[in-house]
Amino acid sequence: MRILPMLFSAAVGLITVVRGVSNDAAWEQDPFNRVFPKMEEILKTAATSAPQMLEEILREAEAAEESAVLRAPRYPSVRGTARMVSRYEERSDLESGRSGFQPQAGLTFRQPLYHWGSLQAGDRIGRIREELTRRNSDESFRLLALEVRSRYLSLVVDRLALDVAMRRLDLAEQEWRSAQRMLERGEIEDHQALDYALALDEATLVRERRQSDHDLALRSLSRLTGTGGDSELHLPESIPLLDDFDWEEQFTDFWETRDRPPFLQAADQRVLEAERRRDAERSRARPNLDLVAGVLQDQVAVFDRRDIDRTIFFAGVEVNWNIFDGFASRSRRAAASSRLRLEENRRGRLESDWRHDLEYLEARLDFSRREMQLADRRLSLAEESFERAREDFESGRLSAIEMARSELLMAERLLAAGEKRAAYLMAWAELISEAGRDPVVLWFARNR
């Protein structure tokens, strides 16, 4: 007797392990997670805590309830009525009319039997809308993931730009102090010293502005992802060299299989909904067959006697046929057909734009890769030059101001390389996202 529980526990454990492995594999395939391991934690938090994803959760709940409403007409219904009416009656067997109050009550059971598929079509429309809402949620998360990655990279690049601003400020301070000494020795005029003072003020302003913009962007990303604070974003100091990751070899088989992205899947669902609505409108004007049963209770007036209570039990079938409705049914059918053609045209346009976007993104990825490689080569040359400058400074052959200039040039090369690496990463992210192969979006769709 213990075999079945053991088998059930083993099956549950196996499913859990498989799902865990599948989820881990999805995150390992994410380009950003390979470069920034903390990105998994950030996007998982955003999937459940970001304001726009909380709205999507509510939309999914709303769609589920609306689907239940559209499914309800297929089920039995019970309706009760009760009323008290004032009655005046004239009869040939009475010399004068008779008035009074008459209570009436009834209870009716109804079960649809055959409605030419219109009820099933309504049920399917509800389920399609549920699926459409889920695809819209996937698309919202896809766009959110791209936005989070873009802002995250911008913040890392901002840190490099902030370092450039700090080094430029340090150089301006050294040049200003040197100018003050030269002014005291009479080597320069006052207006020349003033130029160095203005350069120092400008460098200070740029440094403060950079810091303010960085802090504002950090708080904005924290709100976008729904994280508890800026410290949970785990921003690195720079973007590492990406040539070590062998991107093309890693994603060759992964990229060859393109899936329809969520927005195209949503377009498929809208076409399917339009088809079901057209089918429902075609059968709406046909006669419908229902099973009915119930009980009615009222009073019957009898001459020279008190009203007699009457109870009627009934059961049978009922046919309802809206024979003429002022051409409303015809107009609804025409509107449903037009909606179907509109959704099909819209899907075709989206597919055409999608293919062109993929071609553009592939070309942009190639350009981004080449630009990044050039920037990395310039950075390598700058590192060699910086090492020579450091040796000259330590040996006394290079002044402090010249060393500060070398440090500024090195920081600028790091910034330029960081910008190109960030552009390459975003080109990868947008390409696999547009192709429907973003591992993070696939994870979200499986684990909603």
Residue 404's domain is classified under what CATH number?
A: 1.20.1600.10
The model's pTM: 0.78
CA distances from 298 to 84, 90, 96 (A): 10, 19, 23
Asked if residue 327 is part of any domain, the answer here is yes
Q: What's residue 328's pLDDT?
A: 80
Asked if residue 423 is part of any domain, the answer here is yes
- Residue where the block lists tokens 């200070």: 204
- The token duo for 395 is 């040996």
Task: List CB contacts of 429: < 8 A, sequence separation 6 or more.
Answer: 31, 32, 145, 146, 149, 438
Measure the CA dihedral 70/76/77/78, to 10°.
-170
CA 65 from chain centre, in angstroms, equals: 21
Q: What's residue 100's pLDDT?
A: 72
CB 309 within 8 A of CB 299: yes
Q: What is the DSSP letter of 30?
A: -
Cα(146)–Cα(17) distance, integer angstroms: 29
Q: What's residue 167's pLDDT?
A: 94
Asked if residue 10 is part of any domain, the answer here is no
Q: What is the DSSP letter of 117?
A: T
- The token duo for 229 is 């604070």
CA angle 262/151/167 to nearest 5° reads 160
Phi, psi for 31 (deg, rounded to 5): -55, -40
Q: What's residue 15's pLDDT?
A: 34
Asked if residue 96 is part of any domain, the answer here is no
Asked if residue 3 is part of any domain, the answer here is no
Sheet holding 77-89, edge to edge: 77-89, 98-114, 288-300, 308-320
CA distances from 335 to 127, 281, 282, 326, 340 (A): 22, 9, 11, 15, 9
Collapse the DSSP code of 255 into the 3-class scheme (helix H, G, I; strand E, B; otherwise coil) and give the result: helix
Q: What's residue 353's pLDDT?
A: 93
Cα(226)–Cα(231) distance, integer angstroms: 13
DSSP lists the bridge partners of residue 298 as: 310
Q: What is the DSSP letter of 396?
A: T
Task: List CB contacts of 254: < 8 A, sequence separation 6 or more.
Answer: 29, 432, 437
Q: How many residues does the chain have?
A: 448
Closest CA to 85 of 69, 101, 67, 71: 101
CB 431 within 8 A of CB 247: no
Q: What's residue 28's pLDDT?
A: 66
Antiparallel, parallel or unpaired: β 288-300 and 77-89:
unpaired
Asked if residue 18 is part of any domain, the answer here is no
DSSP lists the bridge partners of residue 311 as: 297
Asked if residue 26 is part of any domain, the answer here is no
CB 214 within 8 A of CB 162: yes
CA 414 from chain centre, in angstroms, equals: 34
Q: What's residue 118's pLDDT?
A: 81
**How many domains would you assign to the chain?**
1
Residues in the chain predicted with pLDDT less than 70, given as ranges, are: 1-29, 31, 91-98, 228-232, 243-258, 301-306
State the residue range of the domain holding 301: 36-87+102-446
Task: List CB contacts of 99: < 8 A, sequence separation 6 or more.
Answer: 86, 87, 88, 89
Collapse the DSSP code of 238 into the 3-class scheme (helix H, G, I; strand E, B; otherwise coil) and give the result: coil
Q: What's residue 37's pLDDT?
A: 83
Q: How far apart are the first and last CA of the chain?
A: 36
Environment class of 298 (CB within 10 Å of its CB; exposed 0-12, middle 13-18, buried 19+):
middle
pLDDT tens-digit readout, 352-402: 999 999 889 989 999 999 999 999 999 999 999 999 999 988 888 888 899
CB 281 within 8 A of CB 329: yes
Asked if residue 97 is part of any domain, the answer here is no
Closest CA to 416 of 443, 380, 363: 380
CA angle 126/132/136 to nearest 5° reads 145
